[in-house]
Amino acid sequence: MRYFIFLVLYLLITSISSYPQNTLPEWAKGIVWYQIFPERFSNGDKSNDPAAEKVFSNDTFIPPDWKVSMWTSNWFEQADWEKNLGGKFRDRILQRRYGGDIQGIIDRLDYIKELGVGAIYLNPVFDAVSLHKYDGSTFHHIDINFGHNPSHDEEIIKKEVPDLPTTWIWTSADSIFLKLIEEVHNCGMKIIIDGVFNHTGIQFWAFQDIVKNGERSKCKDWFIVHSFDDPSTSKNEFDYKGWWGTKFLPEFNRTENDLNSGPKQYIFHSTQRWMDPNNDGDPSDGIDGWRLDVAREVPIGFWRDWRKLVKSTNPNAIIVGELWELSPDYISENGVFDALMNYNFAFAVNDFFIANKKQIKVSEFIDKLKEIDITYPQVYLDVLQNLVDSHDTDRLLSMIVNPDRGYNRDADERNTNYSPAKPYAIHYEMQKLIAVFQMTYRGAPMIYYGDEVGMWGAIDPHDRKPMVWDGLSYDDEVINKESGFKKGFGSYKVEQNIVLLNFYKRLTHLRKNNLAIQKGTLNFLYSNDEKKSFVFERKLDDNWFVIAFNLGDISDSISLYFDEQKISYEEVLSGEKGSFISKDKLGLNFEVNIPSRSALVYRIYSIKD
């Protein structure tokens, strides 16, 4: 059997070894991404809501009065079961479930499409105990509570031999996920999912086989086991490596350059299952790519082989790595990924747009952006995921409320100066400026679900509140000392900020309808450290935009020289129109007054006589 496994893996890898590495999907260039945290996006089927037995699978005690939390309830109000368990407020939040599921995402696809989104990134969807699903119990089944019939799905899964793909069956959760893929594609959008291939949860089937069978387990080499249990003693000697010391997340076994052959083969089969579900050689019924969790912690040799598999299955699939640092070793012609979550973009935005006392100069901001540009080959710049926040950070609006901390630093109740309060109008205006920059700059901008309607929140778990939907009536968010925070006390109305939502829609559709903004050239035309202003242009053939920002307290009047005889323009945010004509037939000066704390987006038309 072991010889057969090695033979299958060898043939699989060698059969795709000649596939070119540097294939970038054209569809991903400049596209608008939307990140969804499935458990908190929309509850489309209340009949599949999680049961306490699953939520507390890793615990010795199941609260008898536990129940799914009401979607519209006050985030900071504890349910009776939370109060009875005691402990810190944040400890109980992690045991809450709100019932978000795949049907909920399907039901909201019209909303996502109208928002101007081109591609969806889903946080983990595979069956797992936690709310975040980074502790997978399997990689070849969608979470049973995301489908229509959890109990039936659970029985189906028990009949399988999990390391034998020929025994795998499609559950109701799997089927509705395939329906989601189909509906996303019908809407003209793409969809990728999270791949967590460094570690699993302790309920992962192979890990449980080790728990039950110890050193006799057929999966004994799958994980980094320090010692097996000795049945002849009363003590449990079983010990293993958990990710960053977290025992709930056991790490796969590996060499310096590759994962162990057991998990590697299983991951390969699972990858193919979701990329070409009916295995007919046509990947149109499968996902359009992957976002890879803690990518640098997985041996790069594994990624090289895995990339070949992905690209041979679907040459137009995208591979996005979670890499917080500049990573030319992963993103290059000979690299293993197509793109990364561009946190260096977020760092720069934080240091200039959000920081107050620690705000960097305009010239330093531009230098940070140019550092990204020179780190990667030109062709990759248009597919980098330009995010500002995510499920791993506090929300954008709360960053703006709490400046000068450094990106993703001191963003919870342990910081006595951190305020989880609802933002003021001035904070929403700053978000608009950031949105203008994000949606007009180079790369592929990504919106974290709810940012577009004004959701706020500290870092995990507070950045993972239920999505705020129009048409639902939400309890006020009441923050007091019981929250653990020391600031931001008050009662705050929770509702969609429709003005902000419409503003995002204008920007995303502007981007979607103009190739210059999606993947045109980018040149900085002007910057002024003293006035905190800068201007850049995006251009592709005759599609031409000039975008200006002023974060200072006074207006900045500037003149930009263009080698044109005559131009007309429209400032797309205000609707202002005008024209300029050359006085000397050599060129013309485009006169711009940038008001304080504002952004201007000019569509420029070259007029030929």
User: Hey, which residues are catalytic here?
Assistant: 293, 322
Question: What is the rounded distance in angstroms from the CA atom of residue 229 to the CA atom of residue 224?
Answer: 14
Asked if 80 and 65 touch (Cβ cutoff 8 Å), the reply is yes
Sign of CA dihedral 438, 440, 443, 444: positive
Burial 380-396 (b: 16+ CB within 10 A, else e): bbbbbbbbbbbbebbbb
Question: What is the rounded distance in angstroms from the CA atom of residue 123 to the CA atom of residue 535?
Answer: 35
What residues form DSSP beta bridges with 604? 544, 569
What residues form DSSP beta bridges with 543? 540
What residues form DSSP beta bridges with 33? 119, 446
Question: What is the rounded distance in angstroms from the CA atom of residue 98 to the CA atom of residue 465?
Answer: 9
Question: What is the rounded distance in angstroms from the CA atom of residue 495 to the CA atom of residue 472?
Answer: 8
Question: What is the rounded distance in angstroms from the CA atom of residue 429 to the CA atom of residue 222?
Answer: 51
Q: 3-state SS string over 162-186?
A: CCCHHHCCCCHHHHHHHHHHHHHHH
Grouping H, G, I as helix, E, B as strand and the rest as coil, residue 292 is: strand
Asked if 301 and 257 touch (Cβ cutoff 8 Å), the reply is yes
Question: What is the rounded distance in angstroms from the CA atom of residue 310 to the CA atom of residue 299?
Answer: 17
Question: What is the rounded distance in angstroms from the CA atom of residue 179 to the CA atom of residue 48?
Answer: 17
Largest CA distance in the chain: 97
Question: What is the rounded distance in angstroms from the CA atom of residue 35 to the CA atom of residue 121?
Answer: 5
| Residue with the two structure tokens 């387990």 | 217
The long-range contacts involving 505-508, CB below 8 angstroms and separated by at least 24 positions, are: 505/114, 505/115, 505/116, 506/572, 506/573, 507/116, 507/435, 507/436, 507/439, 507/440, 508/32, 508/115, 508/116, 508/117, 508/439
